[in-house]
Amino acid sequence: MQTLTQLWFLLNRLNRFSFKVNSDNESVTGWQGEGQGLIKRRGSVTDESVEPELGSIVETIERGDYHVSADRKVPMHNQYLWQFQGDHIRLTHLRFGWDKPVFLFDIIENKQGQLVTRQSHQCAADNYDASFVLHADSLDMQWRIQGPKKHEVLDYIYSL
């Protein structure tokens, strides 16, 4: 539980992100590259001396650029809703707006004390899982995407 609380307060302080995308030879998407950008928040909590309330939310809006190659840059945008639920943090993608949220997964602390997804997010034939590593001033988040056509790993670093 301590680790989920630490994640919650860290989420409320993060300002920037960077990521790398790697796909293996079996992936037909060919996604490779890296990107970076800034994070805006709504509904953030600043008083870390107070336990987060059940149902507390923070919305993060990521905007940046994805460098597919040395000469090709693509603007990127993600919008997430994080909700503190005590024994887990629920992550929802707001890619279609607040009126059409897409539930991704619940983040839990496993028996080894690691932050992982409770279960995979299924999108069409693809499985999405994530794991999280907390640092004092940053968060490492690794997405693993597996499917008939996708074999990708996205390594995100969120920082202050």
Q: Residue 76's closest CA among 113, 21, 142?
A: 21
pLDDT-based confidence at residue 2 (cuts at 50, 70, 90):
low
Segments in 2-77 forming alpha helices (H) = 2-11
pLDDT-based confidence at residue 126 (cuts at 50, 70, 90):
very high
Looking at residue 55, what DSSP letter applies? Answer: T
Whole-prediction pTM: 0.91
Convert the pLDDT of each residue in 62-75 to its tens digit.
Answer: 999 999 877 889 99
Question: Percent of the chain beyond pLDDT 70?
Answer: 96
CA distances from 20 to 16, 42, 49, 105 (A): 14, 26, 34, 22
Strand partners, 35: 19, 66
Quote the pLDDT of residue 58: 93
Mean local confidence (pLDDT), 101-122: 94
CATH code for residues 2-159: 2.40.128.20
In the chain, where are the structural domains located?
A: 2-159
Mean local confidence (pLDDT), 13-35: 87
